[in-house]
Structure 1
Amino acid sequence: MAAVLVGQFHARDAEGRVYSVHEFENLEATGDQLVTTYKLAIGDRVKKNDDNNFELVQSGVILVREPSPIVAV
């Protein structure tokens, strides 16, 4: 089964560069458990360390998730 885009957010590295991270869900090979994966918009793989910290798999650069904007109503 193909991965489905379920979210996207921005994250920054220590030097302040902003990365667009996409969150995907797909069924595991057994077909009974959802697996969440992360990739940059340009396709680089991202590993989730905890809720707000991520790591670029290829380079090891640590990314910190930007807080979601609060919209006043």
Structure 2
Amino acid sequence: MASVLVGQFHARDAEGRIYPVHEFRESQPEEADGKEPVSTYRLAIGDRVTHLGGDEFELLQSGIKLTRVV
């Protein structure tokens, strides 16, 4: 399974700090069976980010909530 960088964006926490977030798409053999590829998110420094839905994200390690900057 390989990860391919498919996007980058910035997200802001409640205190106004900006975080660069990278979106990766996991290429899996199941894609041939019609299943959607899995997206994962990480900060530029490598910390994992959970997508909560819409423009909302959360840093996995610290629990800090982030909102995508449009």
Q: TM-score, normalised by structure 2?
A: 0.88
Q: Please list every run of 5 or more consecutive structure 2 residues that lacks an aligned counterpart in the other structure.
A: none
Q: Which has the higher contact order (CA 8 A, sep 6+)?
A: 2
| 1:65 and 2:68 correspond | yes
RMSD: 0.9
Q: Please list every run of 5 or more consecutive structure 1 residues that lacks an aligned counterpart in the other structure.
A: 68-73
1:8-23 alignment runs, 5 A limit: 8-23=8-23
Measure, in 1, the Cα distance between the counterparts of 2:9 and 2:69. 7
Identity %: 60
Measure, in 1, the Cα distance between the counterparts of 2:54 and 2:45. 22
- How many residue pairs align between the two structures? 65
Off by >4 Å, runs of 4+ in structure 1: none
| 1:35 and 2:51 correspond | no
Relative to its length, the structure with more strand (as a share) is 2
Relative to its length, the structure with more helix (as a share) is 2
